[in-house]
Amino acid sequence: MLWPGTLIGAGAGFAIASIPGAMLGALLGQALDRRLHLQSWGHLLEKLGGRPVLRNDELLFVLLGRLAKCDGRVVDGHIQQARQEMRSLEMSEPAQRRAIAAFNRGKSGNDRLRGYLRRLSAQPHAAEGVLRACWRMIWADGRAGSSERELIAQWGKWLGWTTHQVQALAIDYEPNRRPQVSSAVTYQDALRLLGVSATTEPEQIKRAYRRLLSRHHPDKIAGSGATASQVREATEKTRELHNAYTLIRQRRDFR
């Protein structure tokens, strides 16, 4: 990937001293990219505008702040949900301060998020976690407006998800349709569904979940020429896998 400082340095160097100048300019530009953490033209524009580049742990809270303000007013439910996300991530006090600042920054709606989300698309598990947190924020006030749905669908597209996939996650957080998975019998079923045992290490459980999720992904099924019925079955299977994984995480107390 060629970063902005590298390109600018190479171009300026070539104009001054042809190919040798371009090589030297590229090296100097690359050093600048690394020093300023410039990974895209959007990052460069943020730097020029005096806005710091977002860290990975700040991006989520910028998104949550944008959603909270999407319908015009941030309510107490949104604030409480942001605090719950911090607790779930076990953030340190400095990290919480950054998260609060990022949440408030997100409310302004001034950040260019496409580049950040496209880079995050290379981490499927992290991308799913971000989308799930966004749905939790959307439902924090008890309803999901059209503007919020359009926004999360756009973010999902930049993360490499289809609109159908993004919307399928909503059912896990919609107040009237949230699945209940708490009984001991259900826990045993969850273990069997993921092909693990009560003593399997958390990292092995995570790998089993991701492997099964990839195998039964609705888009993968659709891409193989499956019928609409088979795609619906795959979507339901994906939901069952997520519910099983969520229950095991709750019972075993790992993230």
CA distance 236 to 217: 10
Q: For residues 84-89, give the mean pLDDT.
A: 85
Instruction: Answer yes or no: are the C-beta atoms of 133 and 91 closer than 8 Å.
Output: no
Model confidence pLDDT, tens digit, residues 102-112: 999 999 888 88
pLDDT confidence of 98, banded at 50, 70, 90? very high
Four-point Cα dihedral 102, 108, 111, 113, nearest 10: 80
pLDDT confidence of 222, banded at 50, 70, 90? low
Q: What share of the chain is helix, strand, coil (3-state, %, to 5)?
A: 75, 0, 25
Q: How many helices (H) and strands (E) does the chain have?
A: 13, 0
- The pTM assigned to this predicted structure is 0.57
Taking 80 as the threshold, does the pLDDT of residue 24 lie above it? no
Q: Which amino acid is at 191?
A: L
Model confidence pLDDT, tens digit, residues 47-69: 544 455 667 778 999 999 999 99
| Residue 94: how many other CB atoms lie within 10 Å | 8
Model confidence pLDDT, tens digit, residues 114-136: 888 988 888 888 888 899 999 99
159 CA to centre of own chain: 7
Among 45-54, 78-87, 146-155, 230-239, the least confident range:
45-54
What whole-number percentage of the chain has pLDDT above 70? 71
Taking 60 as the threshold, does the pLDDT of residue 203 lie above it? yes
CA distance 248 to 200: 11
